[in-house]
Amino acid sequence: MFSFSLPTIKLATGAASDPGMLVVGLAEAQDGDLLVGLSEDLAKATTKALGTDVLSLAKTLGASSKTGTCALLALPGGIRLVVVGVGPIDVTAEQVRRAAGAAVRMIAGLPADKPHQVTLSLDTTEPSIIKGAAEGALLGSYHYGPTKTETPGIGAITVVSTSRKPDAKQALDLAQVTAEAVLQARDWVNTPANLLYPETFVESARAVTKGSKVAIDVWDDKALERDGFGGILAVGGGSSRKPRLLKVAYAPRGARFHLVLVGKGITFDAGGLDLKTQDGMYTMKCDMAGAASVIAAVNAIAKLGLRIQVTAWAALAENLPSGTAYRPSDVLTMFNGSTVENGNTDAEGRLVLADALAKASSEKPDLVVDVATLTGACMVALGTQVAGLMARDDETADMVLDAAEAAGELFWQLPITDDAAPKLASKVADVKSTGDRYGGALTAAAFLSTFVPEDTPWAHLDIAGPAFNDAAEHGYVTTGGTGMSVRTLIALAHARAN
């Protein structure tokens, strides 16, 4: 269920006589730049017709081996060739992912009478490289559907690979399911908050997972009150659109590992009574990116049929100021019975996550990972393209970092220091939700850790920076929601499946 038309994608052992837009690579080799994926016949025909070779022509038109740079060439026979930089010749899957994304994104913006047909010829033979190329192409094709556009976009993608092994097709299938999950997360993040709020988010999740082997349970505001979810109720109390807690569970037979994913789902964050500035508020439809990621990931894991039990919990609320809004200094009673002194109504994400983490932990999972656009402090520390990772032990952190590396997503481990927890001391409750102005990402993680039992492995992903791109497009990253963390969560499930 997408707001735009998803391209079809397939493998082929060679480019067709009419390849549509043909994409080849330009790599940096020891003896100079080298074209990758260009057939010998086409190279010879071009040299004969034009009196110059394709590489020289491409460089004249601005082609470079720098990853993601693109040049468009018109060749004899009506062939339109895109030469994209892939970086050093010993390419990684992420290099190819970025190159394919940049090429397809450029093509998607070209005028045409009908959707573009794209052939990717990047000398992809290894499964990881095939997967990278396919993912990059699909991700680069994305645009938010309701936005007016004068271009027809991408209709079909063919990935050229000489490999005839079954793992080539498996890599393509994995790439397709993974990319679709990322694009679904992007679409949810990009949907305006007047259209996507707790109730409609639940309805959309039901529609997206229909036919998948998942079970859905929903706590509405009455059920939340009955079961004592004081954090979610407080945060959502200022809006006429009542909060929800959504559980999406996948439990295949024979699974021996239970992975729990918890996502922050603030469908719009005005800051509550501690109101944000106008500029700070404008992009806050993206504050549910964590929830979008965990729902999309568990649906993809179910589609892939991985033998691992995965449960996603999405804590959904709208944080608005009103006469029923919660206040700074309020004391809230959480799902696990502990009390929290609220320090700031604009630190709402940790409150809804705390309730969901406490509930999820009651099922005694083997690993808990929460995902949230949680703190500006993490953005200050790591910028807008790297997410933060915090965990109580390095073994758990390494497990997630290995999955991120396999997926091609950038995370950096930050510590939960010994001085973080004392900053959360309260005179009127068990804990305070905020500390001082220093190390805000670390104190937020320290607060969340109190809602996960000490003996339960747990990691916290702060994706505040890279979850939403309001800068220039790059590689396979378009403007708006990015779907950051979806690929990592799927890779993590792959690694832990039996």
- Cβ neighbour number for residue 163 with a 10 Å cutoff: 17
- Which of 432-467 are b and which e, b meaning 16 or more Cβ less than 10 Å from the residue's Cβ? bbbbeeebbbbbbbbbbbbbbeeebbbbbbbbbbbb
- Rounded to 10 degrees, the C-alpha dihedral 160/165/168/174 comes to 150
Q: Is residue 48 among the annotated active site residues?
A: no
CA distances from 156 to 10, 121, 149, 254, 256 (A): 8, 14, 18, 37, 39
Neighbouring C-beta atoms of residue 470, cutoff 10 Å: 10
350 counts as catalytic:
yes
> Tokens 């073994």, residue?
395
Q: What whole-number distance in Å separates Cα of residue 82 and Cα of residue 85?
A: 10
Instruction: For residues 97 and 392, give the distance between their C-alpha atoms in angstroms, rounded to a whole number.
Output: 32
**Cβ atoms within 10 Å, residue 379:** 20
CA neighbor of 266 nearest in space, from 464, 437, 480? 464
**CA 4/CA 1 separation, integer angstroms:** 9
- Give the integer Cα–Cα distance in Å for 191 and 281: 15
In DSSP notation, 378-410 reads HHHHH-SS-EEEEESSHHHHHHHHHHHHHHT--
The torsion region of residue 303 among left (phi > 0), alpha (psi -120 to 50) and beta comes to: alpha
Reduced to 3 states, what is the DSSP secondary structure of residue 496? helix
If DSSP codes are grouped into helix, strand and coil, which group holds residue 292? helix
Per the residue annotation, which of 105, 303, 350, 432 is the catalytic one?
350
Quick check: helix, strand or coil at residue 248? strand
Residues in the chain: 498
* Beta-bridge partner residues of 248: 216, 312
Strand partners, 217: 247
Longest dimension (CA), the chain: 83
- Cβ 70 vs Cβ 23: under 8 Å: no
How far is 298 from 231, CA to CA, in rounded Å? 24
Active-site residue set: 276, 350
